[in-house]
Amino acid sequence: MTPSQFTLIFLLALAMSTALRLWLDMRHLRHVIVHREQVPPDFAGRIELADHRKAADYTVAKVRVGMLEIAVDTVVLLVLTIGGVLGMIDQALRTLLGGGYLHGLALFACVGVLGFFIGLPASLYRTFRIEARFGFNKLTWPLWFADLAKGAALTVLIGGPLLFAVLWLMEAMGKHWWLYVWLVWLGTNLLVLFLYPTVIAPLFNKFTPLEDASLKQRIETLLTRCGFTSSGLFVMDGSKRSAHGNAYFTGFGRAKRIVFFDTLLEKLAPQEIEAVLAHELGHFKHRHVIKRIALSGVLSLAFLWLLGQLIDQPWFFAGLGVGAGGTAMGLLLFSMVLPVFLFPLAPLTSALSRKHEYEADAYAAQQTAASDLVAALVKLYRDNAATLTPDPLHSLFHDSHPPASQRIARLHSA
């Protein structure tokens, strides 16, 4: 393949992916706006028209910002690659640092910092304007800066050594380097998942043992019935950042713990909280987390193998506007352009996720009353201003959970 041929392939893929994403968002906007003035029949009497309108307006506001981000990200990707800016950054760093591992780490750092500042306006607008306007944002500027500092520190402490190890393996392990990189990547991800509940998450939120004795007894009875053991039941102070509510379990082995957002406990009745937790336990019972980790592992191995085939091809670098090759540049370019080619496959991963959600709902309906889970979902849709009328095609690409009407219809038939 020649560089010009690959450039044409990349530009066509980028144009098609961007056009598809924008078209789906426009469909979603029109669909939500058209149905703004009428609550769906399945929710009549349970969702007020004012709440339905709020969800529609909230969705529209988020989608419009998202469309702007799509356009900006496309332009930035073109400027960095075909426009030659990434090559200029690379050359400047080579002049300053030489071509060693420090150059590779600096290249990723520069692009990461540049991407952060380009995306910052939209992120701030989403948090401090949209979320605040609809009554969800509780984040203060001091807390925002603290989160930023902690996130940056974790990126350096975890991402830095991992990236160095990856670059070293790519240089030292010959043509099968991708297999060694995959093993390190997989091991690091499993280690982070193991450490997250007790080491990483407490850096950002406060976790306190669940104190409500009657609710605790109800939940422990459910856990016994489901054959689930955990290291404890905890309440997270999610309200200091957002009014959205949720519950989850995290960790492996003895490190598993169940976490409730304090906002969730405030909004749901005890039997509804039990039903929501039963849904989460359904994911555990069906081994969804393990299946997703396995799928992620298989796909990452395939992608690393593909990079192994591309990284020695001059047309790959030249076709993307970069004169000099190298391991760091190859890894960076691959991570930047891969999503362009993968987006059309999004319905496949969404379909798998939806299947898991249906299975978890069915499990919850076996362990608790289906009506309790329905009641909880209706409250969560209402309180989180989740649209009840998503565009079906947009939903196929973007939503990991089934549409509200389909999900509740299945529960009614359970």
**How much is the pLDDT for 252?**
65
Residues 133 and 38 in one domain: yes
Residue 200 located in a structural domain: no
Residue positions in the annotated binding site?
279, 283, 357
Residue 220 structural domain: 205-267
Residues 224 and 326 in one domain: no
Within 13 A of 293's CA, how many CA atoms are on the CB side? 18
Residues 318 and 243 in one domain: no
- Whether 346 contacts 112, CB under 8 Å: no
Residues 263 and 295 in one domain: no
**Cα-flanking dihedrals φ and ψ of residue 65, to 5°?**
-65, -40
Q: Residue 234's domain is classified under what CATH number? A: 3.30.2010.10
**How much is the pLDDT for 239?**
87
* Alpha-carbon gap, residue 361 to 374, rounded angstroms: 10
Residues 255 and 297 in one domain: no
CA distances from residue 159 to 153, 214, 330 in whole angstroms, order as listed: 9, 43, 18
**How much is the pLDDT for 253?**
62
Q: What share of the chain is helix, strand, coil (3-state, %, to 5)?
A: 75, 5, 20
Residues 52 and 10 in one domain: yes
CA distances from residue 186 to 153, 271, 392 in whole angstroms, order as listed: 22, 38, 35
Residues 322 and 224 in one domain: no
- Whether 82 contacts 7, CB under 8 Å: yes
* Alpha-carbon gap, residue 257 to 386, rounded angstroms: 27
Q: Count up the domains in the chain and report the number.
A: 2
Tokens coding 113: 């910092």
Count of C-beta atoms within a 10 Å radius of residue 41: 8
* Alpha-carbon gap, residue 109 to 97, rounded angstroms: 14
Residue of 343, 337, 344, 346 whose CA lies nearest to 111: 337
**How much is the pLDDT for 254?**
62
- Whether 268 contacts 379, CB under 8 Å: yes
Encode pLDDT of 23-61 as tens digits: 999 999 999 999 999 999 889 889 999 999 999 999 999
Residue 44 located in a structural domain: yes
Positions marked catalytic = 280, 361
Amino acid at 258: I
* Alpha-carbon gap, residue 294 to 166, rounded angstroms: 21
Strand order in the sheet with 233-236: 207-209, 233-236, 257-261, 247-250
* Alpha-carbon gap, residue 237 to 374, rounded angstroms: 25
**How much is the pLDDT for 341?**
96
Radius of gyration of the chain (CA): 23
pTM: 0.91
Helix axes 49-80, 85-97, angle to 10 degrees: 60
Residues 12 and 58 in one domain: yes
Where helices occur in 227-326 by DSSP H, the ranges are 262-267, 270-285, 288-310, 314-318
Residue 215 located in a structural domain: yes
Tokens coding 244: 């959205």
Residues 38 and 95 in one domain: yes
Residue 218 located in a structural domain: yes
- Whether 361 contacts 411, CB under 8 Å: yes
Residues in Cβ contact with 357 at an 8 Å cutoff, skipping those fewer than 6 apart: 400, 401, 402, 407
Residue of 249, 268, 251, 252 whose CA lies nearest to 360: 249
Tokens coding 405: 């009407």
Residue 353 located in a structural domain: no
Residue positions in the annotated binding site for Zn(2+)?
279, 283, 357
Residues of the chain with confidence (pLDDT) below 50: none
Residue 234 located in a structural domain: yes
> Tokens 């789906």 identify what position?
24
* Alpha-carbon gap, residue 58 to 130, rounded angstroms: 7
Residues 47 and 104 in one domain: yes
- Whether 81 contacts 332, CB under 8 Å: no
**How much is the pLDDT for 251?**
66
Residues 46 and 80 in one domain: yes
Domain boundary among 348, 367, 382: 348
Beta strands in 15-138 (DSSP E): none
Count of C-beta atoms within a 10 Å radius of residue 37: 10
* Alpha-carbon gap, residue 238 to 245, rounded angstroms: 8
Residues 113 and 226 in one domain: no
